[in-house]
Amino acid sequence: MNRYESAYGKDWDSLGKQEAINRAYALGVGTALDEYHPAELDAIRAEMANAYDKSVVELAFDEGKNEGQKIKRDQGEDNEKVWAQLVEGGGGDVAETPAEGPAGLPDSISRAELLERRNLDTTQATELPEFLQKD
C-alpha cells in the first residue's frame, strides 16, 4: 500500500470541496515522490460540481506536486520526510500549509475576490455614483 492510500484510502463515495482539495494536494505531493494515481485524481475532479471547483482541485494537485519537488530538490530530503512534512505535518490539510491566502488556502488556489458578487439592492445599480451627484 502506498502513502496516499494509507493516509486517505480510496473507498469514498462522495467528497466535499475541502476534502477534495486536501486529497488532490496529497496526490500532487505523492506524484513528486514518484507515486502517481491518475485514476484517483480524475475521480476527485469528476466529483466537483462546476468548472471552478475542478480547476481548484487541479491547482491543489499542482501546488502539492511543486512543493514536493521543491523540498526534494532544495533540501535533499527523502520521500518519507517530504510526505511527513507536507501531508502528515499539516494533517493533510491544505489550509495549514505556508503561504496562506484569505480562506486559509494557498494563494494560488484561493478564490479571487473580484469574482464575488456584491449585494446591491435593485435601485443602487441605476443610481449615479456619489462623486457625480449634486449636493
pLDDT by residue, tens only, the chain of 135 residues: 688 888 888 888 898 999 999 999 999 999 998 898 899 999 999 999 899 999 999 999 999 999 999 988 888 778 888 888 888 875 344 443 344 444 455 666 555 665 566 665 666 667 777 888 887
Question: 21 lies in which domain range?
Answer: 3-111
Q: Quote the number of domains for the chain.
A: 1
Q: Which residues contact 5 (CB under 8 A, 6 or more apart)?
A: none
Residue 97 pLDDT: 39
- Domain contains 29: yes
Asked if residue 54 lies in contact with residue 14, where contact means CB atoms within 8 angstroms, the answer is no
Report the alpha-carbon distance of residue 83 to residue 96 in Å, rounded. 14
Q: Which residues contact 107 (CB under 8 A, 6 or more apart)?
A: 99, 100, 101
Residue 82 pLDDT: 87
- Domain contains 63: yes
- Domain contains 46: yes
Q: Which residues contact 54 (CB under 8 A, 6 or more apart)?
A: 45, 48
- Domain contains 57: yes
User: What pTM value is reported for the model?
Assistant: 0.66
